[in-house]
Amino acid sequence: MTDQNAPSLFAAPPMAEQERMVEAILFAAFEPVTVADLSRRLPVGCDAAEALAHLRRRYEGRGVHVVKVGDAWAFRTAPDLGHLMRNEQVEVRKLSRAAIETLAIIAYHQPVTRAEIEEIRGVAVSRGTIDQLLELEWVRLGRRRMSPGRPVTFVVTEQFLDHFGLESARDLPGLRELRAAGLLDSRAMPGAPAGPDDDEPTVTPQSDLFQD
Amino acid sequence: MTDQNAPSLFAAPPMAEQERMVEAILFAAFEPVTVADLSRRLPVGCDAAEALAHLRRRYEGRGVHVVKVGDAWAFRTAPDLGHLMRNEQVEVRKLSRAAIETLAIIAYHQPVTRAEIEEIRGVAVSRGTIDQLLELEWVRLGRRRMSPGRPVTFVVTEQFLDHFGLESARDLPGLRELRAAGLLDSRAMPGAPAGPDDDEPTVTPQSDLFQD
Amino acid sequence: MDEPDLFPEGPALSVPDRLAAEALIVDVNGFEGPLDLLLTLSRSQKVDLRRISVLQLAEQYLGFVTQARALRIELAADYLVMAAWLAYLKSRLLLPPDPTEEGPSAEDLAAHLAWQLERLQAMREAAATLMARDRLGRDFFARGAPEGVANLRTVRHTATLLDLMQAYARIRTRDEFRPYAFDRKNVFTMEQALDRLRGMLGYAGDWMALMAFLPDDWKGDPQRRRSATAAHFAAALELAKQGSVQLSQSDTFAPLRLRVKPA
């Protein structure tokens, strides 16, 4: 150990400190790190190999290990705990445009029937689109509409609110607010006239939501 | 240790083992993990909160720490070692002064409406400023204000807490002092007519934070 | 409000103050609104914002505005609104209080302004403290290589709130360009009127009142009559533009008549 009170210009940090450093570097690294790499990144005078050896011993029997990958080093989950990692192995894909538009219409106009969704989107809604939203549990069936044919309606779920960080569907911004946030303008078509700002969906079912 | 060959259906693993499991899960994840999530992933009968407390103590003073982010937990490298991680540093998009101030106002006054932000800054919030904060996922929509026009409000997110190393919005630097000095109150201009600006809540917004 | 009265000769400023004010003017685009400008001006008082002299500040601000005008710098409306308000406040602060006047006292108004400045300053400082904190990805780091063991691969679809709002904005914006569909009853469209007029004009001989072309069942109910009249009027104009009919009206508000343009 070097004398802490009078460190020479090139005194290496104590070994415990070197070990901390290696621990942080391995944790944050995008790829396994070689000993040579470690040496380059540690302060002058450090002994990367020894610090690494200490670190390996410290993690023996723990939930993660320091393992050798090729000639480099990395943290890896202990193999016996692999079954806990299943949730990490999901491939996240963006929702299709049809699905996100359908979802937006349901969120803004709920409860809404398939025919109404098609009217607002101006195109037919394929069966798979709504099935996908149902499967994601972002959408569920609401009350049947009291109109000829008694069509089913769709509403958004608690999981939907959770995923989008909303307290309630009422908290979705209205058209005017979307415009104020620049979300409408960025999509405006060329030559778009500056339309009146009062085109909130006043007669749509969504207005029911604001009455309580 | 339970007998591996004849495990009882509901025997929880010993605490040391639970700690290993939590360690592995937190290490593997990038995003913070909630206690509820941990409980779901651990075997039946485990006490995720206790295992977490053990784990937290174990990593005190190490190169990586267990930090609390809102309701969730994550491993993060110790801040004093940041200089070793130049390779991993990500360029944070430079925010405009308006965006930085707006972010601070949302954090300290949340839930806060656009009109309130504008009143505090004394200038209109330009298009795209809030948009940028939403895109960074540092800000999200809160509950609509129960006042005329039912304006949307903004609150900060868990990603915001994670980014700035805060356990909760209550830990914002200087929050208590600002509150004590009355600088987080919403005071209308004396004699101001009950005009359209009169959408002040009856309780000061930030006080919501302290009610639980 | 009468503007010239609001901007009297600038108060006597010391040379350094004047230089400072000019420096501010050069910089005027850098200010984020009147409060920001006031906050900058208040620094010259070198006191706690709680003990600031609002009267002095009002004079500085008005001096600034006067100079900006002398230099022919266009100030945005909100700067001028603040100037008008400060001029009012200044006169209230200087005059002895009028017991008959209702509303808040000048001191209350001044205290509120001081508080607003203090609050803005506090938020600025809070913002600076926040940005100076240890930050994820700069000072401390998450796991660089989160583990995704590859055997079990489930596809999870996701979307952000921004996606959702943009999708909705996209749909609604598209709507703005779709012709509005009248589903109301009692509306006679110009297209209907055009068809009707084209069909009937062949049979009409000389000048005929426009109203005579209205279908019988559209003449009774006022709402229906209005709609049919408007549609027929527009259709008549359209046909006149095409050169197939002539229009005539003997006097203002006299019945409008039309006939097929003689060949």
Any CB–CB contact under 8 A between C103 and chain B? Answer: yes
What number is the average pLDDT over the span A139-150?
88
Q: Which residues pair with C258 in a beta bridge?
A: C208, C247
Any CB–CB contact under 8 A between C100 and chain A? Answer: no
Rounded alpha-carbon distances, angstroms, from residue B117 to A174, B94, B113, B121, B157: 19, 21, 6, 6, 17
Of the two residues A160 and B211, the one the predictor is more confident about is: A160
pLDDT tier, C3 (very low <50, low <70, confident <90, very high otherwise): very low
Residue B120 has what pLDDT? 94
DSSP SS3 for A5: coil
Cβ contact B28–C109 (<8 Å): no
Q: What is the enclosing helix (H) or strand (E) of A104?
A: helix A97-109
Contacts of C151 in chain A (CB under 8 A): 89
Helices first, then strands: H and E counts in chain A: 9, 7
Cβ contact B82–C104 (<8 Å): no
Cα–Cα distance for residue pair C121/B108, rounded to 1 Å: 13
Tell me which range, B68-82, C156-170, C207-221, is most confidently predicted by mean pLDDT: B68-82
Nearest chain A residue to B28 by CA distance is A77
Cα–Cα distance for residue pair B104/B178, rounded to 1 Å: 13
pLDDT in tens, C46-73: 777 878 888 999 999 998 888 887 777 7
Residue A56 has what pLDDT? 95
Cα–Cα distance for residue pair C118/C203, rounded to 1 Å: 83
Any CB–CB contact under 8 A between C215 and chain B? Answer: no
pLDDT at A198 over 50: no
Any CB–CB contact under 8 A between C147 and chain B? Answer: yes
pLDDT tier, C24 (very low <50, low <70, confident <90, very high otherwise): low
Of the two residues A94 and B63, the one the predictor is more confident about is: B63
Contacts of B28 in chain C (CB under 8 A): 143, 146-147
What number is the average pLDDT over the span B85-95?
80
Rounded alpha-carbon distances, angstroms, from residue A186 to B131, C166, C244: 11, 9, 46
Pick the residue of C39, C81, C123, C133 with the most B CBs within 10 A to test the interface with B by mutation.
Answer: C123
Query: What's the one-letter identity of residue B159?
Result: Q
Look over chain A and give the mean of its residue pLDDT values, rounded to a whole number: 78
Query: CATH fold of B97-205, please?
Result: Arc Repressor Mutant, subunit A (1.10.10)
Cα–Cα distance for residue pair C101/C87, rounded to 1 Å: 18
Contacts of C48 in chain B (CB under 8 A): none
Residue B101 has what pLDDT? 94
pLDDT tier, C255 (very low <50, low <70, confident <90, very high otherwise): confident
- Rounded to the nearest angstrom, the minimum Cα separation between C131 and chain A is 22
Q: Which other chains touch chain C, taking contact as 3+ CB pairs less than 8 Å apart?
A: A, B
Contacts of C164 in chain A (CB under 8 A): 100, 103-104, 107, 164, 172
- Rounded to the nearest angstrom, the minimum Cα separation between A208 and chain C is 19
What number is the average pLDDT over the span B146-153?
88
For the sheet with B72-77, list strands across it.
B33-34, B72-77, B64-69
Cβ contact B142–A24 (<8 Å): no
The residues, ordered by sequence, that sit 6+ positions from B33 with a Cβ below 8 Å of its Cβ are B25, B26, B72, B73, B74
Q: Which other chains touch chain B, taking contact as 3+ CB pairs less than 8 Å apart?
A: A, C
- Rounded to the nearest angstrom, the minimum Cα separation between A18 and chain C is 17
Of A57, A52, A46, A54, residue with least CA distance to A71: A52
Cα–Cα distance for residue pair B167/B57, rounded to 1 Å: 17
Residue B195 has what pLDDT? 44
The residues, ordered by sequence, that sit 6+ positions from C148 with a Cβ below 8 Å of its Cβ are A88, A89
Delimit the domains of chain A by residue range. Answer: 15-78, 97-205
pLDDT tier, B81 (very low <50, low <70, confident <90, very high otherwise): very high
Query: pTM of the entire structure?
Result: 0.61
Architecture of domain A15-78: Orthogonal Bundle (1.10)
Residue A36 has what pLDDT? 94
Residue B111 has what pLDDT? 94
Contact C126, B178 (CB under 8 A): yes
Any CB–CB contact under 8 A between C26 and chain B? Answer: no
What number is the average pLDDT over the span C25-30?
60
Report which DSSP code applies to A124.
Answer: P
Cα–Cα distance for residue pair A173/B154, rounded to 1 Å: 11
Any CB–CB contact under 8 A between C250 and chain A? Answer: no
Contacts of C32 in chain B (CB under 8 A): 97-98, 121-123
Residue window 73-102, chain B: list those with CB within 8 Å of chain A: 75, 77-78, 81, 84-85, 87-88
Of the two residues C230 and C97, the one the predictor is more confident about is: C230
DSSP SS3 for A76: strand
Contact B27, B75 (CB under 8 A): yes
Residue window 31-60, chain B: list those with CB within 8 Å of chain A: 41-42
Pick the residue of B118, B144, B159 with the most A CBs within 10 A to test the interface with A by mutation.
Answer: B144
Any CB–CB contact under 8 A between C12 and chain A? Answer: no
Closest in B23, B64, B78 to A62, CB measured = B23
Q: Dmax over Cα atoms in chain A, in whole Å?
A: 90
Of A2, A70, A72, residue with least CA distance to A32: A72
Helices first, then strands: H and E counts in chain B: 8, 6
Closest in A30, A86, A187 to C152, CB measured = A86
Q: What are phi and psi of C67, to 5 degrees?
A: -65, -40
Contacts of C176 in chain A (CB under 8 A): 192, 195, 199
Tokens of C140: 């401390």
Cα–Cα distance for residue pair C202/C205, rounded to 1 Å: 8
